[in-house]
Structures are given as C-alpha cells and as structure tokens.
C-alpha cells in the first residue's frame, strides 16, 4: 500500500479571524491546512500545492470568489480540485450561482456548522486519497510499462494494435504515432518448417487462430490465454524469435474486446540453448553426433524396432592403423583424417541412418528398418570402398582402410549393451581377419572374445608366477648329419595346470601389446641358456633362433634389449638368429625395416618364418636383410600329395639360390618329405622326424657328446633311401 502524505486543504478568506475559525473547526482532521487572504494569493497556493478541497469565501475585496473559482477551474491541471463556497446569510444568491457556473461544487453558510463542514471536508479528503492512490498506481504502471524488458501490446478483436509500450515499439520498430498496424503483420508463419512444434502447428498460427473469429467465442472454446513462441518480424524486416503470452481482455460487461500480449525477443537465448544442445550432443571435431547422443538414439531405435517388429543393425568401425598415422604425421593430419572419414561416412549413409563418433577413431552407425542382410552388406562395402580411396592431406598421400563389425538386434536375447558389444566383437573379428573388411556378429565370436579376454588376463600374471618355460627344437643339417641349431619355443602351463598353446596366446599377446614384455622375458631366458651352452664342447657353429613378432620391431626397444642381453651373457651375434613372422600386421613399416637392418648389422642372422603364407613374403625379400627362409609347414605337409605345393617349394628354392639365401624346411615329419627336400637341395631340416621341441638339458646333452644324437633317424632315412633306389631299379628292370 502506498504511503500517502496528508491531504491539503486551502482556506481562502480576506478576514483572518474567519480563516482561523474554519481552521479550528477542521483541526480534528488529519490534514494540512493552508490559508490565503486573497484570490490572488489563493491562485499562487494552487500553483504550488495539490489540494483535496478549497474553502472559498465568496465575498472578498479585489478578486471575487467566483472569479477565482473560474480561473482555477478553467485550467485543465486544476479542474479536478473541488471548491466549496463559504457564504454569509446576507450574500446575494447571484454570486453563489456564478460560483456554481464557474465550477464550484458546494457551499456552506457562515456561521459555519462545525459538524457539517467537518463531514463535508472529510468526504473530499477521502475522494482525494482515492484519486491520489489511483494516480500513483497509474504512475507506477507507466513506469513499469516503460521500463520492462518485455514488449507489451494491447490489441483489439481484429488484432489491431491499440497500445504498445516502448519496448514493444522498439522490438517491432513501430513509430509510436502509427498504431495502424495489426499484430498479424508481424507474425512469420512457417507451416512446413521442421522447427515448428512437435504437433506440427506453428505456434504463431495458433495465435492468429485465437485472434481471428474464434476470439469472439474464445471463452466458449475455453481459451482465454495462450503461451507460445514463434518468429516475428519487425517493420524494418528484423526477424526475431518471440516468446509470448496472450491474455484476453474484457469490457466491464464481460464482453471480450481484445487481448494483451507480453513478448520477449529470445533469439539470443534460443541460439545459446541450441549451441549448448549441440555441444552436448555433437562432436566438436567432426560435427557428427557423439557417444551420448548415439546411446540415446539407439535406445529409441530399439524401442521402435520392438514396436514395429522391424530389423535394426548397428555397425562399429574404426580406422585401421590410425595410431600410426597420428604418430607418424602428427595430430593435425590425424584430426583432418577423422573429419574426412566422418564426411565420407555421412555421405555414404542415408539421411535416416545415424552416424556417431564414439571417441578416438571409433565410429558407430545405426541402421533402422533394415530390409535385408544384403542391404547392410552393400552399405558396409560402400563404406570400405569410400574409405580406401587414396587421400591427400596437406599434400601428404595417405591410404587408409577401416574394419567394420555389424550386429543385428535380437529382441529376445539382447539389450542395448549386448548389441553394441556384439558389433564391437564383430569389428575385432574383422581386424583379426586382416582389416579392410566387414564381419557380421556370430555367437562363436563372443566365445572367442571371452576366451581372448581370459587368456589376456591370465597371461599378465604368467611371467610373475613362473608359468612360462622354453623348449628348444633342434635344426639338423643333412649334409653334416648333426644338429646345427635350434629354435626356442615358448611353453605356458597356466596356474590351473592347462597347457596353453603359443598358437593361441602369442596372437593375443601381440594384439594386447603383452608381447613386448613376453618377448623380453624370452630373450633374456634364451641368452642365459646360450651362455651355458657355449661352454660345452660341441657348441661351435650352433645357432639358436628366437621368434620375434613384428610388433616387437616397431621401436628400437627390442634391439636395445638384444644388445644388452648379448653383452650381459657374453654371447656372440653369430650364435643368434631371429625368426620374424608375419602374423601380426604392423603399423610402421619404415621403423620395422630399419630395425631389421640395424639388428642385421650387429651380426645377428635374420630368418623369415612361415615363408610362403604371408601376402608380402616375396616383397620382404627385396626390402629385408634376409639370411634364411623357413618354408612353412603347410607346404612340407603336402609333399607327395600336392604337386602344386611341390612346385612352389621348387620356386622358393630357385629364388633363394639366386639371392644366396639359405633355406630351412620346418615341420618335416616323414622320410618321404625328407627325401624330396634332400633331392631339391634343402639341407637344413626341422621337424618331428628328428625331434619335437625338447628341454634345454637335452640340447646340453647333445652338445656334450661326440656322438650324433640323431643316429637312429639318419639310419632310418638311409635305409629308406636305399630301399627306394632298389625299388626304382627293380621297376626299371621289369
Ligand atoms: P613357428 O615359429 O612356426 O614354430 C613352429 C611350430 O611348429 C611350433 O609350434 C613347433 O612345435 C611346431 N612344429 C615343429 N615341428 C613340427 C612338426 O614336424 N609337425 C608339427 N605338426 N608341428 C611341428 P609351437 O611351439 O606350438 O609354436 C607355435 C607358434 O607360436 C610358433 O610357430 C611361433 O609362431 C609362436 N611362438 C612360439 N614360441 C614363440 C616365442 O618365443 N616368441 C614368439 N613371438 N612366438 C612364438
Ligand atoms: Ca619360428
Ligand atoms: Ca614357422
């Protein structure tokens, strides 16, 4: 409630005693009394004070009372002040009439009746207070209207603007004098726009609807107010986003006569909100959706697939050897590559498919309402093709590929996590299948992945728990009829007593990186063994081979450890050979080749293991410092059975002879194989025919003795040879 000051009452009389009598009578009232002794003085007071009522003597020298009344009343500013004439009984009524004509509202006669005067004045005071309260709230309302940050508009039933506060004028760029505009002129309608509210209706449209014919029966349709937002356009063409509320107004008789609208320019807020939303859901680098968005979308897709009984597929993919590209060319190129791949993926997919960057170089795709498996295959193939197109990034030529795992949602057995895990498992399968391919998830992959994980976990404890040992498989020279070397082969008997084959755990260790630690352990273990063997009498010329994964040759670490181990154990490089297998794909060819060169330069022999099986074996021969080729067991196995394989062995031998590379055959189990190999001048033999991998002690025994440990095997071979010759002669004679 407003704190009103006391009302002012003006007493005008030329006789001081008369003024004082009136003042005395009115003294019980809580008012401020001001006196004026003439009409002129009274006018001065009126100019300076706001009066609730004026008590005006009718008969005064100079200006007459009614003349003063007229002057006051003719001024618009003071017209509202009620004036009560004070007359004496003998005054003529003529003067009183003139006063009424001039605007006086009442009169009292002298001698004044105390009660009547007090009551009268009290009434005028009450009226004054009401007036002042009303004036005050109007003033406040005006302050409010003029200063609020919202635009406020009054409109009639046709939408014509009848009132606008300064903010509304500013936002709509209306000249305050020209209210001839209608609200409808400012509303932008986009019905087909995707940004319209979810019900598809433009909320400006709703506003127009409310304002049109419907507003007359707004109450009957139950709408008296409306909140909404939409694009509005100012007279100067500025489009802004408006958040508005609209409230119906009524006449005193209850009839609707228009509406009041409060609106705000929320363009900036909306943009900020949109930016925040974008930031939360999109990846800053590639501008495709992020992991959080993907999860939300996948959840919805799963619900949709269940409801509509449609097929849903998820693809997981990452860029093959991305880490290498990042390390080799720097993060700028890496980032650029991610952006290009994102773009390629988006271009390959339909608009309805969702593609997200899950982090690093990992992407995931949701394919909804998949018609057939072939449809998904086609998309996967398109992605492979598109990604593998050669690129030029900052004038660096780069070739990349991707491995894709695909899983279909199985509503009865899968939740979202299972689906993602399945696609991920399939992606790992694609990686181990040599990359640049796609794989559909199969349940066996799951078992494989779980086993993989278990092995990886157990392996991390194996070295500490002393679960690893090394066996050695002799390499035999047919010419010298004795052991000329051996191959170190790792054995793992796990805590639970299971023998786990290196064929299982080596590839896992290669993938997990555990091969580095494992490799160092083997290296030290073998070198320690050699340092013992070299003290034995028949050690001379004995070469021990260590299997080294390409993964171990990606840095200089292995070479440095090798040098250290040879120094520590006093081993000559010519007694060591490394067998390089191509099982693991490797990221950095450059480092790999230069490491091999450096190891070779130390005097350590280099052998290509499993020769003939890898894709680039022949290519390696040109790039690598190769001393020995090891013909893979799979070819040896087919000797006498597969002429093509026999032919291949002959080709390998021919090539190696021209390049002066030594050859060894592995996996030799039978005399027939031995015979074939000897005939084709393969001198060095490794395989079960002579010996399985054996304990180091058994090798020690052989190195201690003058006698060939393989007498029996050679004997069998010789007699078999003799028999074959006899048989051949026999057939010739026949
Ligand atoms: P690899 O280097 O090709 O080793 C030869 C494998 O063939 C060995 O299996 C050996 O026991 C087996 N073998 C030898 N002669 C015959 C034969 O006449 N008949 C048959 N059927 N098999 C024969 P192993 O020891 O199970 O090793 C499997 C693979 O594991 C190795 O193949 C090698 O790639 C890897 N590996 C073994 N030890 C190590 C190691 O210390 N480091 C690394 N990086 N890899 C190793
Ligand atoms: Ca080997
Ligand atoms: Ca081999």
CATH classification of the domain holding 185? 3.30.450.20
What is the rounded CA–CA span in Å between residue 546 and residue 137? Answer: 98
Last residue of a domain, one of 101, 118, 140: 140
Inside any domain, residue 700: yes
User: Do 434 and 465 sit in the same domain of this protein?
Assistant: no
Whether 425 contacts 450, CB under 8 Å: no
In a domain, 731, yes or no: no
> Looking at residue 715, what is its pLDDT?
94
Of 668, 716, 714, nearest to 692 (Cα)?
A: 668
3-state SS class at 633: helix
Q: Which atom belonging to ligand 1 lies closest to the Cα atom of 689?
A: 18
Q: Is residue 375 part of a domain?
A: yes
Instruction: Identify whether residues 117 and 186 lie together within a single domain.
Output: no
Shared-domain flag, residues 314 and 406? yes
In whole angstroms, what is the distance from residue 730 CA to residue 734 CA? 6
CATH number at 509 reads: 3.20.20.450
In angstroms, what CA-CA distances link 342 with 16, 65, 295, 359, 685? Answer: 99, 94, 18, 12, 52
Asked whether residue 66 is domain-assigned, the answer is yes
402 vs 537: CA distance, rounded Å:
55
Instruction: State whether 576 and 682 are in the same domain.
Output: yes
pLDDT at 433: 85
In a domain, 648, yes or no: yes
- Alpha-carbon distance of 520 to 447, in angstroms, equals 30
This prediction has a pTM of: 0.60
Please name the residue that has the structure tokens 């091969």.
515
Predicted confidence at residue 179, as pLDDT, reads 72
Helices then strands (H, E): number in the chain? 24, 27
Same domain as 560, residue 513? yes
Instruction: Profile the chain (734 residues) by mean pLDDT over runs of 10 residues.
Output: 80 95 94 95 94 93 91 91 87 82 90 92 93 87 83 88 90 82 86 45 71 53 71 92 88 83 91 86 92 95 96 96 86 94 95 93 96 97 96 89 97 95 94 91 91 90 92 96 97 88 92 92 97 97 95 92 97 96 64 93 94 68 88 93 91 90 96 95 96 97 90 92 74 50
Of 124, 140, 156, which closes a domain?
A: 140
Residues lining ion ligand 2 (Cβ < 5 A) are 547, 579, 609
Distance CA 395, CA 393 (A): 5
Residue that terminates a domain, selected from 140, 165, 183: 140
Residue 572 within any structural domain of the chain: yes
Kindly report the CATH number assigned to the domain that includes residue 20. Answer: 3.40.50.2300
Query: In this structure, are 209 and 71 located in the same domain?
Result: no
| pLDDT attached to residue 213 | 53
Index of the ligand 1 atom closest to the CA of residue 522: 41
Distance CA 207, CA 260 (A): 12
Pocket of ligand 1 (CB under 6 A): 473, 488-490, 501-503, 506, 522, 547-549, 579, 581, 609-610, 666-669, 687-688, 693
CATH of the domain at 429: 3.30.70.270
- Answer yes or no: do 289 and 237 share one domain: no
Q: Are residues 242 and 223 in the same domain?
A: yes
> Is 1 a domain residue?
no
CA of 693 to the centre of ligand 1 (A): 9
Question: Residue 221 has what pLDDT?
Answer: 42
In terms of domains, do 290 and 253 share one? no
Q: Which ligand lies nearest to the CA atom of residue 489 in the structure?
A: 1
State whether 300 and 265 are in the same domain: no
CB atoms within 10 A of CB 39: 24
With contact defined as beta carbons under 8 Å apart, do 33 and 23 qualify?
A: yes
Q: How far apart are CA 308 and CA 109, in angstroms?
A: 96
Residue 114 is assigned to a structural domain of this protein = yes
Segments forming the whole domain that contains residue 357: 282-441
Contact 618, 661 (CB under 8 A): no
What's the gap in Å between 553 CA and the centre of ligand 2? 16
- Number of alpha carbons in the 13 Å side-chain half-sphere of residue 383: 30
**pLDDT of 273:** 86
- Counting the structural domains of the chain, the total is 4
Q: Are the C-beta atoms of residues 290 and 357 closer than 8 Å to each other?
A: yes
H or E segment to which residue 228 belongs:
strand 225-233
Give me the residue label for tokens 């590839």. Answer: 507
Whether residue 153 sits in one domain with residue 85? no
Asked if residue 392 and residue 522 are part of one domain, the reply reads no
Q: Which residue has the tokens 């250290």?
A: 564
DSSP 397-435: EE---EEEEEEE--TTT--HHHHHHHHHHHHHHHHHTTS
**Of 292, 412, 291, the residue nearest 362 (C-alpha):** 291
How far away, in angstroms, is 471 Cα from ligand 2 center? 12
**E strand intervals along 378-467:** 391-393, 396-398, 402-408, 438-440
CA atoms within 13 A on the CB side of 709: 19
Q: Is 262 helix (H, G, I), strand (E, B) or coil?
A: strand
Reported as type and span, the H/E element at residue 597 is helix 589-602
Q: How far apart (Å, rounded) are the C-alpha atoms in residues 101 and 563?
A: 127
pLDDT score, position 325: 86
At a CB cut-off of 8 Å and minimum separation 6, what does 235 contact? 172, 173, 174, 181, 186
């Amino acid at each position: 409630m407003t704190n009103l000051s006391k009302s002012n009452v003006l007493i005008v009389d030329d006789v001081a005693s008369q003024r004082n009598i009136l003042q005395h009578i009115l003294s019980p009232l809580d008012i401020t009394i001001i006196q004026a002794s003439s009409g002129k003085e009274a006018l001065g007071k009126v100019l300076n004070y706001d009066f609730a009522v004026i008590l005006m003597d009718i008969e005064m020298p100079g200006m007459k009372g009614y003349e003063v009344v007229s002057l006051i009343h003719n001024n618009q500013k003071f017209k509202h002040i009620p004036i009560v004439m004070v007359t004496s009984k003998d005054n003529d009524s003529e003067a009183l009439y003139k006063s009424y004509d001039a605007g006086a509202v009442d009169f009292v006669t002298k001698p004044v009746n105390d009660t009547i005067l007090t009551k009268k004045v009290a009434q005028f005071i009450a009226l004054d207070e009401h007036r002042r309260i009303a004036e005050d709230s109007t003033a406040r309302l005006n302050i409010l209207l003029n200063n609020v940050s919202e635009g406020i508009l009054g409109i009639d039933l046709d939408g014509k603007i009848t009132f606008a506060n300064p903010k509304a004028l500013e936002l709509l760029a209306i000249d305050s004098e020209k209210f001839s505009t209608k609200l409808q002129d400012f509303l932008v309608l986009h019905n087909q726009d995707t940004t319209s509210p979810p019900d598809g209706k433009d909320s400006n449209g709703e506003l127009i609807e409310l304002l049109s014919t419907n507003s007359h029966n707004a109450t009957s349709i139950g709408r008296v107010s409306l909140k909404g937002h939409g694009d509005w356009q100012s007279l100067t063409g500025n489009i802004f986003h408006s958040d508005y509320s609209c409230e119906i107004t009524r006449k005193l008789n209850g009839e609707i006569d228009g509406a009041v609208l409060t609106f705000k320019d929320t363009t900036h807020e909306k943009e900020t909100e949109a930016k925040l939303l974008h930031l939360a859901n999109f990846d800053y680098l590639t501008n495709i959706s992020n992991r959080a968005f993907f999860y939300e979308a996948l959840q919805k897709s799963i619900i949709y697939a269940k409801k509509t009984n449609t097929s849903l597929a998820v693809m997981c993919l990452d860029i093959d050897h991305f880490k290498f590209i990042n390390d080799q060319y720097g993060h700028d190129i890496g980032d650029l590559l991610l952006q290009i791949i994102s773009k390629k993926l988006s271009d390959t997919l339909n608009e309805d498919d969702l593609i997200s960057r899950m982090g690093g170089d990992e992407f995931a795709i949701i394919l909804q309402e998949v018609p057939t498996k072939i449809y998904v295959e086609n998309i996967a193939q398109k992605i492979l093709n598109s990604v593998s197109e050669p690129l030029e990034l900052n004038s660096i030529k780069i070739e990349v590929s991707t491995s894709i795992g695909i899983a279909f949602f199985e509503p009865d057995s899968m939740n979202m996590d299972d689906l993602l895990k399945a696609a991920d498992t399939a992606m790992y399968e694609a990686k181990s299948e040599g990359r640049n391919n796609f794989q559909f998830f199969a349940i066996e992959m799951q078992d494989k992945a779980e086993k993989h994980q278990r092995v990886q976990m157990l392996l991390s404890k194996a070295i500490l728990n002393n679960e690893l040992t090394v066996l050695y498989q002799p390499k035999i020279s047919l010419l010298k009829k004795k052991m000329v070397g051996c191959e170190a082969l790792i054995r793992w008997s796990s805590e639970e007593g299971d023998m786990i084959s290196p064929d299982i755990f080596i590839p896992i260790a290669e993938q997990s990186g555990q091969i580095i630690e494992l490799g160092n352990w083997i290296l030290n273990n073998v070198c320690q063994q050699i340092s013992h063997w070299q003290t034995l009498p028949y050690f001379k010329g004995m070469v021990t081979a260590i299997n080294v994964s390409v993964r171990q040759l990606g840095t200089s670490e292995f070479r440095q450890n090798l040098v250290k181990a040879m120094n520590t154990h006093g081993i000559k490089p010519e007694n060591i050979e490394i067998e390089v297998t191509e099982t693991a794909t490797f990221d950095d060819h450059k480092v790999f080749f230069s490491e091999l060169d450096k190891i070779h330069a130390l005097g350590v022999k280099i052998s290509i293991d499993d020769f003939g099986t890898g894709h680039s074996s022949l290519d390696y021969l040109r790039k690598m410092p190769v001393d020995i080729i090891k013909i893979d067991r799979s070819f040896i196995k087919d000797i006498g059975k597969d002429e093509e394989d026999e032919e291949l062995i002959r080709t390998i031998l021919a090539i190696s002879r021209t390049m002066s590379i030594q050859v060894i055959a592995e996996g030799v189990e039978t005399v027939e194989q031995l015979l074939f190999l000897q005939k084709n001048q393969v001198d060095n033999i490794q395989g079960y025919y002579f010996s399985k991998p054996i304990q180091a002690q058994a090798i020690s025994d052989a190195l201690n003795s003058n006698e060939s440990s393989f007498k029996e095997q050679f004997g069998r071979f010789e007699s078999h040879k003799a028999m074959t010759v006899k048989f051949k002669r026999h057939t010739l004679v026949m």
